[in-house]
Amino acid sequence: MSTRPRPALALVRRGDEVGRDRIRYFLYLNGRWRWRPTRAMKLHGFGLVTLGPGGPDLDSEGHPKASLADQHRAIELNRAWDLVRSGHASAPARTTLKQYPEGSVGDGYQRAMALRKAARVAQGVIWTREQEKRDGWPRAWKWIEPKFGDCDPRTIEPEHFLRLDPVTGEAKGLVPEVEAAVSITERHMVIKVWRALWKKMAAMKYCDLESDPGKSFANTPPQPRDQIWRRSEVLHLVQVAWRNEYCGLAALMAIAWDSQLSPVDNRSLTLAQARRDPAGVWFAIARTKTDKAAAATLTKWSLAILIAYLKRFGADLLDNTPLFWTRGGRPVSRDGVSGQWGGDHGGGRHIVPRPYTKSSLNQDFRTVRELAFGKQELRQLQDMRRSGAVEGDAGGATIEDQSNKMANTVDRNKQLRKTYNPVNVASVRRFDEARVIGAKKLEETEQRAPESVTVATLVTLLKSGT
């Protein structure tokens, strides 16, 4: 069996004349000819395209002369950009616009990406940058493209994904390569995307639906995380963060615990999303991952910490500015007056605060977690979301209330609930009450004295930061 499936037949285009003028965005870089778009072009979905090494002849600048095929490809890419720039074509669906043979896997992938984008546009859905980053298709394509991009899908066999090396007896193919390089989670995602792509290629009549080589083996998902935090542990984390001047992180963790939002949704909260009803304060948001509406309710505990943090922050935040910032000197307020919160850290070097990003949040959380529980502790901030679900379940909450609280489809409820009850704040608060009951039951099961957040506890916490 061949170690690589057969390439699809390329379409040879004739009649294109390559002039002597320099081709835009076409340059020789790091030993290869490349088509490199500008930053403005990248915002429209265009990406770097790596072409051939050129040669053996040299051009006027001493570089290996680009082949006619590479020159034609660069010209085609420029034409595609000109159509987008002039408004005669829509932006590509996050592809590099690499020219693949008609009927190949790469050709099917580009068509599938365009169809996915068209379906979103038809529904009036515009993805945010965060949602673009979370799309698994381009991520999986980085693994699929080198193996199968220019290949006829009908020539791809199961052994290209998984086989035994006759000499070493080791597993070879795409599946073990992905697992060895990244993780089981990555492999599961790549094969999941491949199977979805195969279905779309079958609809394009590029292959037979029932002959997917990616279904000849089990795509076993990774074991789900099951770690949870207890209330007393989260209170301790918040205290340690506050005492060490990670005040933004302390407030974020308190709200993460009460709201059960994901880390990305927590660090994206703004004052403009804050709402108040007779029962208290909550944030009205659309979840980053699913764009589903959610009500992030707060207790008096998390609200008090949030208010204390904002007072200590000392500057007026704009309505759409992220609430939670890293520690450091206070930023300039609306009146141009700069504060001194946090002073100098790290040997007199002034730390400039910034809104939390994914990396800075993870880094600060690891630091506080180590201060609180030591280096052996590996639980993550995202585990607080699961912990709340465990509490609510122990307290007798319904699966519908949990779905409303977490803004997901855990209850498998479909269109009617989305239509008539998109955000049920009363249901969310019922789940909050069930969490309190569940927390007590869990503590009793572990033979621990029940602990609750009281006014005295809150005062102790706030005093510890002074």
In this predicted model, which residue has the larger pLDDT, 332 or 268?
268
**Sheet arrangement for strand 32-35:** 26-29, 32-35, 49-50
Confidence class for position 343, pLDDT limits 50, 70, 90: very low
Structure confidence at residue 244 (pLDDT)? 93
> How many Å apart are CA 192 and CA 9, to the nearest integer?
27
Mean pLDDT, residues 125-151? 86
Least confident of 58-62, 273-277, 380-384, 436-440: 436-440
Say how far apart CA 413 and CA 402 lie, in whole Å. 12
Give the mean model confidence (pLDDT) for residues 245-266.
91
Residue 237 is predicted with a pLDDT of 96
Greater pLDDT, 422 or 240: 240
pLDDT in tens, 156-182: 999 999 999 999 999 999 999 999 999
Whether residue 17 is predicted with pLDDT greater than 50 in this model: the reply is no
Measured CA distances, 324 to 59, 246, 272, 317, 385 (Å): 54, 10, 14, 10, 18
* pLDDT above 70 (res 462): no
Judge whether 257 and 234 are in contact, CB under 8 Å.
yes
Q: What is the mean pLDDT of residues 331-337?
A: 41
Q: Say which range, 32-41, 125-134, 234-243, 358-367, has the weakest mean pLDDT.
A: 125-134
At 42-96, the pLDDT tens digits run 877 787 888 888 888 888 888 899 999 889 888 988 888 888 888 776 666 555 5
Return the pLDDT at 215. 94
Angle in degrees, 0-180, between the axes of helices 399-406 and 383-394, rounded to the nearest 10? 150
Q: The tokens of 389 are what?
A: 């679900």
Q: What proportion of the chain, given as a percentage, has pLDDT over 90?
A: 34
- Please give the pLDDT value at position 275: 86
Report how far residue 364's alpha carbon sits from residue 372's, in angstroms, rounded to the nearest whole number.
12
Q: Is residue 449 over pLDDT 60?
A: no
What is the dihedral angle through the alpha carbons of 340, 343, 348, 352, rounded to the nearest 10 degrees? -70
Give the pLDDT band (50/70/90) at residue 282: confident
Task: Please tell me the least confidently modeled range out of 54-58, 124-128, 331-335, 408-412.
Answer: 331-335
Give the pLDDT of residue 132.
80
- 338 band by pLDDT with thresholds 50, 70 and 90: very low
Q: In the prediction, which pLDDT does 133 show?
A: 77
Residue 358 carries which side chain, given as an amino acid letter? K
Between CA 80 and CA 86, with CA 85 as vertex, the angle to 5 degrees is 100
State the average pLDDT over residues 12-28: 63
**299 CB contacts (<8 Å, ≥6 apart)?**
258, 280, 432, 453
CA distances from 183 to 133, 159, 173, 311, 363 (A): 19, 20, 15, 43, 21
pLDDT at 330: 45
Distance CA 353, CA 245 (A): 12
pLDDT tier at 134, thresholds 50, 70, 90: confident
Residue 292's pLDDT is: 63
Which region among 180-189, 351-360, 391-400, 416-425 has the lowest average model confidence (pLDDT)? 416-425
pLDDT band at 411 (very low <50, low <70, confident <90, very high): very low
pTM greater than 0.95: no
CA-nearest of 149, 156, 136, 153 to 200 is: 153
